[in-house]
Structure 1
């Protein structure tokens, strides 16, 4: 037995990949021991998680030729009664029968016992308290316009949606260019957008921009629109804010026909604390799904926290993942709040400045085990599927295979990048540190893939500012017309392009942009709330700004299109950039990726007419993209016609290189032509 255990430890490549983890070998061994033990307890021998995660096929409402079955898991409940418009909301006429394991069931004879569109709830009794609740596995929830009350709805259309995307698969050899989206605010009018509007208007825009993936927020039902979808109430119901289930399916089907991958921003890190709308205290107890006491409540988010060590909770959440992949053909997930899941203090105020912070009593081993199971299930369901972790701690092994000792994600969001840009913009331009910039944007854990980005929805929300609004602020209201002359706007336009080009090219294997940020959408995102008189003015995207060629937003949009297409077409994502020159005095950074060279001059005023770049080979180069092109709102100072031939450099005659003109506040991409 000892020999077998030793062999298992020897295959944990995470210790070879990162030797600094050797002092925490026992912690990683414990992680994998827990993974194996819980996996065996759940599955036994020879089964996979796709055999296990079938709660949605058993619980909830299921129509048969003989009638309807309705089942719930409510172990602490003393009685359950199905109520709805089918029985005049009679709280005593349709009792469920208790089965083994806390399962309750009722059979309604006849296929017409329940009708498509019928409203339903379940009345749950626990210790003298009776509550009308929304069924846990309900597929549709709607809100009454008169009472603001939420009800479950039977969703069984006579003609089910017909998918035509059977041949769609993600090409995992290509990097994901992710367009982060929110259905409701994706339209220009002041109101809530729909799945249909997104399909008709946004998918063609995404395709034209060059993004091959959309990451959709707020899909799972949430009672408060302004929560951005992060306070989930009903885990198996597609948000009714945006339309009906068939419209979401149609949108995803259309995306697949266009070759666009569709990821869901899945929220399993916490749940809304609401009792009437959500799953909290469904059977009368907190501990049905969540931890008791302080551990069960997120102090910053005011929400409930799952107990990932409970087998029934694992079953519920894994079934949730399988449901969205089966029912709606999602191609993978971006897991929200991973840092909150895997640490007991949720990472609040913790500086992860040593490996000891990752392996301590603060680490929630149950959550890590659950995430391993989730990634294993996703891979079983679709070997081509993608999973992305939103983890700001940088947990080692987050994006390594489980068999290596990792957690199994494909990518992690490089959350330090937007933080770096915010911190940098608070400095004077002349104080920007080129060495820090190169380090922050290029450093990664070996063999762990990143999705790089300048800003996501987080930086666009009210209380924060987008990158361009930090730089131009109120000047954007008056000086984004191409005929205007304004130094603040000129600076903002130049640095907006440079920040994106250097971020996308410094080694990240994927790239993300929040919708509208590509063209510098003005102001912030402010959802309708009491404080703004329930206005939708700042909860939409003004696409006309990007489409009006007399505005500078148009120029930024054109640059984003060119940048994404260039990075994809030339295969420039990922890899290890080779630094050629990092000069903090001149504010210049240059680096090479195979047959391409990137040169950035961040100096606010100084241009270099003879910028010498050692490349140590006799070759010729031409500019193929630069941020100063007139098409992108630049001054046109960089020629694309000149060929830069290798020669002995004046400043360093022992070096062979090229000499180029590097204007202030520009970035350029050169390609080897000989």
Structure 2
């Protein structure tokens, strides 16, 4: 290659690589990996890779000898290597030939590659960033108008390749999902789609959580351009798009990032810290500057290049603790188990993301009692703005799986969440983890015969919707699929031929629309002012409360009956005189219950009940949730 071109490349990269090595380059994908360039009229691709302890690095591929390849040159003391090739053409395969200090040679993928071969092949593919002209400016502008905390957030969690299959067993392509999934989500009333990991991974059984290519949409799903078009179409339909992201650990397949240059490069040097035995993966060395540049750039890459509305950050606990589920572990010098570099990395990640995108969702999947997960970094927190409420999910499902006969003696499983629900900004998740590996589907968890199972499932879903916190439901929960989730098959859509499943789907659509309509169910989700507990009756297994919006008139009254016993002449206190109406009765026949009409306008009487000045008397159906809203009330303060 022309010497002047080679020197120009080095000069162009020197300052950028300084930032990369200090952990402060948050767009490192723009300089690393494979990039199309024009040097003095010569058009080709520049390849740049970080391999600080390699003896030599070569570029091998379809455009060069796969055994020897093109020799790459060190860029000073940056630890990086580069070469420019006029022969490289978009769509060709390549790898890096890494000669280690002991003379052994490994062919390695490009950690920054934007595309890979379809499995079982694993080479990186020559590709530059697409230059899309986005049309979702109105969606982006509207996000900035209102705080995310004061908006409805109801997420539909999807595993892309098992949502729906064709008759021949093939899954839907991204363009097909654009035409079917987005209209379905819009009709059902969800606000966001959350995809399980979409990045390149070799094993379906990992569900996408053991990644090899962090910057590449998995080739089995489709192309970058197709996914960009999907997100744009979702935004035009007023649907947000989120994605699971896995910064804690990476795939240990030999051709990937593991011991990339022959030494612990992306992983910790300490084997006890490096090896994630539970997942069969390697843990990123989160204290290493270059790893921070790689990972924070990756988060921003998916947010900015694909216009994602947020990331659900997987396995946060494994980054916070040295001893989290890994077997042998090495404590800190003071004997403590907190991963100090992991904590600082998480804070840095969230600070950098929110500096650029303050309206984004950064959601922690964190299963311990670590405090201030959703508090800003400057207030001593980790800096996320949401956290999955795993405690609420575990207690609630344990309660609902019980025979109703035993529920009154375990009512604390329902009531305990109100002791901590405002400690963090919570999302209430019924996720993929709860309907796999023998745990049964939500429908199958419910006790009793088929009728009672659906009655319990409606009660469960409605209870989630009225409890403080944002919402997440995994695909299949929406129509009461009986079989647990199976990754190699589509959902049991044929179940909708059954009247009960079809009615449950209609129920979920109605419930989601009620949630979006009633401001009281989302406007004051994260402060105690958003709920007033009326009565917690352990003996009757009934829970009643008022959910409140910002304005005094924006409220609903909730009655949760957790056993299959009808309550006649039930009295509940309400704050204002007037008429109330049923917003929801989960036992209506249109949803699969036995009630054919509602109870009509409910008129108050002047009687103190539940510390309220007025009382309504009504029938509470067996195993149900009732939501009452004011129809015509008096004495409401103007402010």
* TM-score band, normalised by shorter chain: 0.7 to 0.9
Distance in 2 separating the partners of 1:553 and 1:241: 31
Is residue 2:505 matched to residue 1:557?
yes
Q: Which residue of 1 aligns with 2:29?
A: 56
The aligned runs of 1:91-102 (5 Å cut-off) are 91-102=68-79
For 1:395, what is the secondary structure of its paired residue?
A: coil
Query: In the alignment, what sits opposite 1:11?
Result: none
Give the deviation of 1:294 after TM superposition.
Answer: 1.9
Distance 1:341 1:234 in 2: 20
Report the alpha carbon displacement of residue 121 of structure 1 after superposing the two structures with TM: 0.7
- Does the 8 Å contact 2:199/2:218 carry over to 1? yes
Counterpart in 2 of 1:439?
A: 415
The CA deviation at 1:663 is 1.7
1:479-538 Cα offsets, whole Å, 9 max, x none, are xxxxxxxx6111110110111111221111x100111211112212233xxxxxxxx3xx
What are the residue-to-residue correspondences of 1:103-182 with 2, within 5 Å?
103-108=80-85, 110=86, 113-126=87-100, 127-143=102-118, 148-156=120-128, 160-169=131-140, 170=143, 171=146, 172=148, 173-182=150-159
Q: SS state of the match for residue 128, structure 1? A: coil
Which of 446, 465, 471 matches 1:504?
Answer: 465
CA distance in 2, matches of 1:288, 1:435: 47
Query: Counterpart of 1:370 in 2: which secondary structure?
Result: helix
CA–CA separation in structure 1 for the residues paired with 2:630 and 2:467: 18
**Partner SS, residue 320 of structure 1:** helix
Partner of 2:4: none
Match of 1:600, SS state, is strand
Secondary structure, in 3 states, of the residue corresponding to 1:229?
coil
- Residue 60 of structure 1 deviates from its aligned partner by 0.7
Counterparts in 2 of 1:518 and 1:638: CA distance versus 1, 3 Å? same
RMSD of Structure 2 on Structure 1 (CA):
2.5
Which residue of 2 is the match for residue 65 of structure 1?
A: 38
Q: 1:285 aligns with which of 240, 246, 263?
A: 263
SS at match of 1:585: coil
Distance 1:191 1:428, change over 3 A: same
Alpha-carbon distance between aligned partners in 2 of 1:362 and 1:390, rounded to the nearest angstrom: 19
TM, length-normalised to structure 1: 0.82
Retained in 1: the 8 A contact 2:165–2:490? yes
Q: Secondary structure at the match of 1:65?
A: strand
- Indicate conservation of the 8 Å contact 2:60/2:66, yes or no: yes
Q: Take 2:556 and 2:400, find their aligned partners in 1: how far apart are those partners?
A: 28
Find out whether 1:343 has 2:324 as its counterpart.
no
TM-score by length of 2: 0.86
Query: For residue 610 of structure 1, what is the aligned residue in structure 2?
Result: 569
Deviations 1:93-140 (A, max 9, x none): 4334353221111122x4xx2111111111101021101111111000
Hey, what's the Cα distance between the residues in 1 that align with 2:338 and 2:377? Answer: 18
Count of residues in correspondence between the two structures: 582
Q: Shift of the alpha carbon at 1:275?
A: 1.6
1:335-484 paired onto structure 2 within 5 Å? 335-346=313-324, 361-433=336-408, 435-444=411-420, 446=422, 448-453=424-429, 455-471=430-446
Distance of aligned partners of 1:143 and 1:654 in 2 relative to their CA distance in 1, 3 Å threshold: closer
State the Cα distance separating 1:460 from its structure 2 match. 1.5
Contact 1:233–1:271 under 8 Å retained in 2: yes
- Show CA shifts across 1:230-250 (max 9, x none): 001111111111111111111
- Asked if the contact 2:51–2:80 (Cα under 8 Å) also holds between the matched residues in 1, the reply is yes
Structure 1: distance between partners of 2:611 and 2:118? 75
Whole-Å separation in 2 of the counterparts to 1:513 and 1:524 = 14
Query: Are 2:536 and 1:582 equivalent residues in the alignment?
Result: yes
Q: Which runs of 5+ in 1 are unaligned?
A: 1-41, 350-358, 473-486, 528-535
Q: CA deviation at 1:193?
A: 3.1
Give 1:377 deviation, angstroms: 1.7
Alpha-carbon distance in 2 for matches of 1:347, 1:582? 37
Alignment of 1:12-91 (within 5 A): 52-66=25-39, 67-91=44-68
Show structure 2 runs of 5+ residues with no match.
1-17, 328-333, 549-554, 634-639
**1:545 aligns to 2:523 (yes or no):** no
1:22 corresponding residue in structure 2: none
SS at structure 1 position matched to 2:363: strand
CA contact (8 A) 2:248 2:315 kept: yes
Asked whether the 8 Å contact 2:94–2:123 carries over to 1, the reply is yes
Distance 1:201 1:133, change over 3 A: same
